[in-house]
Chains A and B, each alone.
Chain A
Amino acid sequence: MIPLSWYLIFAAGLFSLGLFGVLARRNAVAILLGVELMLNAVNINLAAFWRYGNVTDMTGQVFAIIVFAVAAAEVAVGLALVISVYRSRNTVVADEIDMLKW
């Protein structure tokens, strides 16, 4: 069986990839994609810990499913926001959407 650490390393990689996307990409849609990557990295961790922990109860899987659901909702809201911002500001570049400043 593949050791647990492999999964964790893979998940950490995926998480970092997502984090990089969130921090570095200019396009708001891409930032959302990054967030999704980070969430899925967490899902891998959950599934892995469940598999290597107490298999009889379903906590890890249930958690993962809840995360899916939340992620789906989050994407729906996020994309709607992006579209809405695009309509009023005519841009989806995160740096240009900076009205929340002094």
Chain B
Amino acid sequence: MTTETLIWLIPLPPALAFFLIVLFTNKNKALSHSVGVGAAVLSWLASMVVFFRALGVEHLGEHPFVSSVNWLPTGDTWFKIGVAIDPLGAAVLFFVSITIFMIFLYSVGYHNFGQPKGDHDRAGLPPHGATVTDEQGHKHTVPSVEPMYSRFFAFLGLFAFGMYTLVVSDNLLTMFVGWEIMGLCSYLLIGFWYGKPSARAAAIKAFMTTRIGDVFMLLGIAFLYSATGTLTFREIFTEEMLQHLVSIDPHFLGLTGAGLIGLLLFIGTVGKSAQWPLHVWLPDAMEGPTPVSAMIHAATMVSAGVYAVIRMFPLLSLDHNTMTVVAFIGTFTAIFAATIAVAQNDIKRVLAYSTISQLGFMIAALGIGAYVAAAFHLITHAFFKALLFLGSGSVIHGMEHGVLHTGNHSVDPQDMFNMGGLRKKMPITFWTFLIGGFALSGFPLLTAGFWSKDEILADAWANGHLVVFVTLALAAFMTAFYTMRQITLTFLGEPRTKEAEHAQETPWTMTVPLMVLSVFAIGYGWVGIPENFLNLQLAPSWFHEFVGGTLAEHPEVIPFNPIPLIVSLVVALGGLLLGWLYYRNVNSAKEDFFQIPLLKNKYYFDEAYQVVFIKPVIWLSEVFTYKWLDQGLIDGILHFFGPATGGIGGFIRQYIDLKVINEFIGDGLAAVTQETGRTLRPIQTGRIQQYMMLSLVILAVVGALLYFMLGAGL
């Protein structure tokens, strides 16, 4: 099979799995997850084949795998859609397919496959556990299987389809289609336990917030299409097309056409990748099951946002103002989310804010022109953040086991202050989580996070963006700090609750993905070691060479400078050390110095949006539109017309209907008919022979008449 055909086929298995599960296999849990995981394996295999074939092509950036078909006739040309894999696409495909596969596998364990049905589980609520009786007659409460197990795999399949479509697309339109499919799926998956009001609210919030970005993105796409007549990346990123875009003046804030399009597309990313000020949906998205969090936060949706801006980098980099906005938003988000993460107690929420912060790093890197660094951090982050999320899911799962054991449901299995000492109970989860956490903190030399974050800092330093450099370094310090806080509170020390004492390691379907991902969380960094690291004259960084080839001009390798390296070492190690030193002595939320209300309440952004946007909109719809316009104005007019037409109708009825139609025509005709009938009644004797006699007489008379009248003429 040619590589191009294979690329077309990559998104197909998950989509087929979605329809198969929805239409046929949803009654059978084992069959459904087999279909789902099978599809993930197929797509993964195809992606690997494509990736390794892409590795074998020299100058893939100039000669990417492309294939397109005519789709819509537009005047005398065709709108084309197609697939393309260039170095960036191949690198993204690599991590996407692995993380998606791992998440599918993990979901089997997370949703308690093989466990008994719950005693009173209901669709739309998380499973509550089942009571089983062992041989000795003791009753145990054990985790119960998710009631909507098949449905989860169906949604996951559709989600994977959206992501693969987005990655392999060669044009903005199909990319946007994949983007929106993911938006829908994230809504469905966050609201998976729709019986919980908080999950419903979070689903709607996520959908609405990302929608704001998507509308702007669609505007950008429309502008781009009207300006160039094409949405295919290869055709847009040509020298003359880009020059043409720069030369357009949209008369908007002094931006060039390219700048405005770039800005609009970037707003889409702000929504999708949860950048400030549209970051509010992502922490709430933690209401969904944990594989969803990993799916949304690591493998797909948020990465898709960053992937989109990296994709559009040639366009974005044309306008200085747009790049400044991008850099500002990224940098600000990085530090802003990191400070919030320090004060969160929910194990998944810490990771959610950490994700926002790390995405800020990537956006900031892109804003200062560090294309390769952004792509590199995107991929390493995807691996270690998926690992962390799946690890936190494993922790929660273990804690839920403890909760079921003690039967004390008031203990929140996600609150880190209820944990402690889990390293002994869940060794695999601990070690993998440690690897993920160290990678996130940028633990020197060993972990992937170090190499990618270091590259961003080095780029910021080398290009003279001092503000960005300092802010990101500070954010990196905080990252290390809150990561160590999380690890210390969760795994180290002694168990703080009975539930933590009875936590249990999770099944192999959950731990295997953790182990696989931790391999990448360490190893993937090594492909991007800069060639002049410590002035050692190493082999050229594979990642830099490969992904850098996507751009028309190969980005230059920045010279080595010890300052960013030292800063990077200090913030990572310092943050980790401080986090450990401080939190090993903290045993409850009250003792924690960083439980500052401002941070704990996320700078009151939700409340502010509530007051500034949501309240006015509700006022507009309920009071202004409904009460004043609908009930007052429109109903008022109607209430005037109602009686008026009623009066006219009454008049017509009184004098025309009743008098003329009813009495004269209606009743008159009826009376005449009735009278005639009464008069003619006696004719009907009912005696058949009289009738026959009568007809004979008439026949005779008519016959005679005819005979004489016609006969006279014969």
For the complex, what is the distance from the CA of A74 to the CA of B333, rounded to whole Å? 100
For the complex, what is the distance from the CA of A102 to the CA of B684, rounded to whole Å? 6
Instruction: Verify if B682 is at the interface (C-beta below 8 Å from A).
Output: yes
Within 8 A of B (CB), among A50-102: 94-95, 97-102
| Closest chain A residue, CB of each to CB of B691 | A100
- A102 in contact with B682 (CB, 8 Å): yes
Question: CB within 8 A of B686: which of A23, A24, A101?
Answer: A101
- B685 in contact with A23 (CB, 8 Å): no
Question: CB within 8 A of A100: which of B682, B684, B689?
Answer: B684
Interface residue count for A (Cβ, 8 Å)? 13
- Per DSSP, chain B at the interface is helix
Instruction: Verify if A22 is at the interface (C-beta below 8 Å from B).
Output: yes
| Closest chain B residue, CB of each to CB of A102 | B681
- B686 in contact with A94 (CB, 8 Å): no
For residue A19, which residues in chain B have a CB less than 8 angstroms away from its CB?
Answer: 696
Question: CB within 8 A of A23: which of B681, B682, B696?
Answer: B696
For the complex, what is the distance from the CA of A94 to the CA of B686, rounded to whole Å? 10
Which of under 10, 10 to 19, 20 to 34, or 35 or more describes the interface residues of B?
10 to 19
Given known pairs A19-B696, A23-B696, the reply for A98 and B686 (CB within 8 Å) is: yes
- B692 in contact with A22 (CB, 8 Å): yes
Instruction: Verify if B687 is at the interface (C-beta below 8 Å from A).
Output: yes
| Closest chain B residue, CB of each to CB of A101 | B686
- A99 in contact with B692 (CB, 8 Å): no
- A22 in contact with B689 (CB, 8 Å): yes
A70 CB → nearest B CB, Å: 19
| Closest chain B residue, CB of each to CB of A99 | B686
- A94 in contact with B685 (CB, 8 Å): no
Instruction: Verify if B709 is at the interface (C-beta below 8 Å from A).
Output: no
B694 CB → nearest A CB, Å: 10
- B689 in contact with A23 (CB, 8 Å): yes
For residue B692, which residues in chain A have a CB less than 8 angstroms away from its CB?
Answer: 22-23
Question: CB within 8 A of B693: which of A23, A98, A102?
Answer: A23
For residue B693, which residues in chain A have a CB less than 8 angstroms away from its CB?
Answer: 23
- B689 in contact with A94 (CB, 8 Å): yes
B649 CB → nearest A CB, Å: 43
Instruction: Verify if B688 is at the interface (C-beta below 8 Å from A).
Output: yes
| Closest chain B residue, CB of each to CB of A24 | B689
For the complex, what is the distance from the CA of A101 to the CA of B680, rounded to whole Å? 11
- A95 in contact with B687 (CB, 8 Å): yes
C-beta contact mask, B675-714 vs A, less than 8 Å → 1, else 0? Answer: 0000001101111110011001000000000000000000
Question: CB within 8 A of B684: which of A24, A31, A94, A101?
Answer: A101
In addition to A98-B685, A101-B684, 8 A-B residue pairs with Cβ atoms within 8 Å of each other are A23-B689, A97-B688, A98-B687, A99-B686, A101-B686, A102-B681, A102-B682, A102-B686
Give the A-binding residues of B (Cβ under 8 A): 681-682, 684-689, 692-693, 696
In the assembled complex, 29 residue pairs joining A and B whose CB atoms fall closer than 8 Å, in A order, are A19-B696, A22-B689, A22-B692, A23-B689, A23-B692, A23-B693, A23-B696, A24-B689, A31-B688, A31-B689, A94-B687, A94-B689, A95-B687, A95-B689, A97-B688, A98-B685, A98-B686, A98-B687, A99-B686, A100-B684, A100-B686, A101-B684, A101-B685, A101-B686, A101-B687, A102-B681, A102-B682, A102-B684, A102-B686
